[in-house]
A = this chain, B = another copy of it.
Amino acid sequence: MEMQSWTRNVRKVIPYTPGEQPKVKNIIKLNTNENPYPPSPLVGKAISEVSMDSLRKYPDPACVNLVQAIADYHKKDSSRVFVGVGSDDVLAMSFLTFFNSDKPVLFPDITYSFYDVWADLFRIPYVQKPLDDSFKIKASDYEEECGGIVIPNPNAPTGVAEPVEFFEKIVAAHPECVVIIDEAYVDFGSKSCIDLTDKYDNVLVVRTFSKSRAMAGNRIGYAIGSPELIKYLSDCKFSFNSYTMDTITLAAGVASIADDEYFKEKIDAVIATREWTKEQLSSLGFTFPDSMSNFIFAKHESVNAVFIFEELKKRGIFVRHFSKPERIADYLRISIGTDEEMQRLIKNIKEILGVK
């Protein structure tokens, strides 16, 4: 018998590539949609109050305090809340739990580029539905019987949002599968589909603390759905890792929810800066779909995106460029920073374009 190598039985995949986290200081980082403001001061206070002795013990696996805080915030029962290590953890676990059909899962061709990675990892068949020429999702693409649907609202990297009615039609038409609405950016001005989970047991709304709550470094995501759906998701999660949320993170999450005034103030600031940036970019010859998120997906009328990307990088300003699919290769995704950061961005773009 010829010996076989262990590599034969390896699950071989092409992983997702996250945005660069440069080690150099004094840069303007507009490449991973982080919040330019720190988390609520209550978060720092809660972290400093965690007893160091308590760390020797396992955290609460049910994450009762954080789950209850999120449930109260959204006025849902705690049996309808699931928490994870960022929304990526929640989404990965949801793909594993719900997408086990022979029929394909459907999602847009231009969207969060992790969806096809999860589908490939778990050997889930999928079909990517092309956005229309104005980067809008075509409802008619989501009518066929399928193994699941996942759509971000607003979509990324386009920033385009659809109304709740748009999603209700899809959810109502698909009792045969779970529909995931990924609301990573919903706090920046679009309408949430969370209340659809009161009426339909097949819809899961996923959220994150990474963007609007300025807590990317803490890793907290969550989902709201029907109790039945959350129970299935929890069963798979507890078959993977009982203790995903650490003691400090749990305390930090509860504290963020408690400071709603700060939360709304910083969101308003980001939205105001975004609208100012839109005006500036327009006047410099950029076009973009109307973003309802904390980034703008923009294309210049004549200057190449990679050129602008590289020139900005030389000047210490990091934005994001996606080379695939080809129809977005002319676009840059620019996260919204502070007013001062965006002023410096615009000043540098003017220099690059040779505008006085």
Residues in chain B near residue A10, CB distance under 8 A: 97-98, 100, 232
Say how many copies of this protein the assembly contains. Answer: 2
Residues in chain B near residue A178, CB distance under 8 A: 6, 9
A246 and B228: CB pair below 8 A?
no
Tell me the minimal C-beta distance from A66 to chain B in angstroms.
14
A254 within 8 A of B: no
Secondary structure of the A side of the interface?
loop
A54 within 8 A of B: yes
Q: How far is the CA of A356 from the CA of B289 in the complex (A)?
A: 81
The segment from A82-90, A183-191, A326-334, A343-351 that touches chain B is: A82-90
A238 within 8 A of B: yes
A176 and B214: CB pair below 8 A?
no
The segment from A33-41, A162-170, A278-286, A304-312 that touches chain B is: A33-41
A287 within 8 A of B: no
Residues in chain B near residue A78, CB distance under 8 A: none
A18 and B56: CB pair below 8 A?
no
Q: How far is the CA of A136 from the CA of B247 in the complex (A)?
A: 36
Tell me the minimal C-beta distance from A149 to chain B in angstroms.
11
B228 and A243: CB pair below 8 A?
no
A246 and B232: CB pair below 8 A?
no
Q: State which of B9, B29, B92, B242 has its C-beta within 8 Å of the C-beta of A240.
A: B92
Residues in chain B near residue A8, CB distance under 8 A: 101, 176
> Size class of A's contact patch?
35 or more
Which residue numbers of A lie inside 8 Å of B, CB to CB? Answer: 3-16, 18-19, 21, 29, 32, 34-39, 41, 43-44, 47-48, 50, 52-61, 85-86, 88-89, 92, 96-101, 117-118, 120-121, 147-148, 174-178, 201-202, 210, 214-219, 228, 232, 234-249, 252
20 A-B pairs whose Cβ atoms sit less than 8 Å apart in the complex: A3-B175, A3-B176, A4-B175, A8-B176, A9-B100, A9-B147, A9-B176, A10-B232, A18-B61, A21-B58, A21-B61, A34-B56, A43-B52, A54-B217, A55-B218, A56-B217, A59-B217, A88-B240, A88-B242, A89-B244
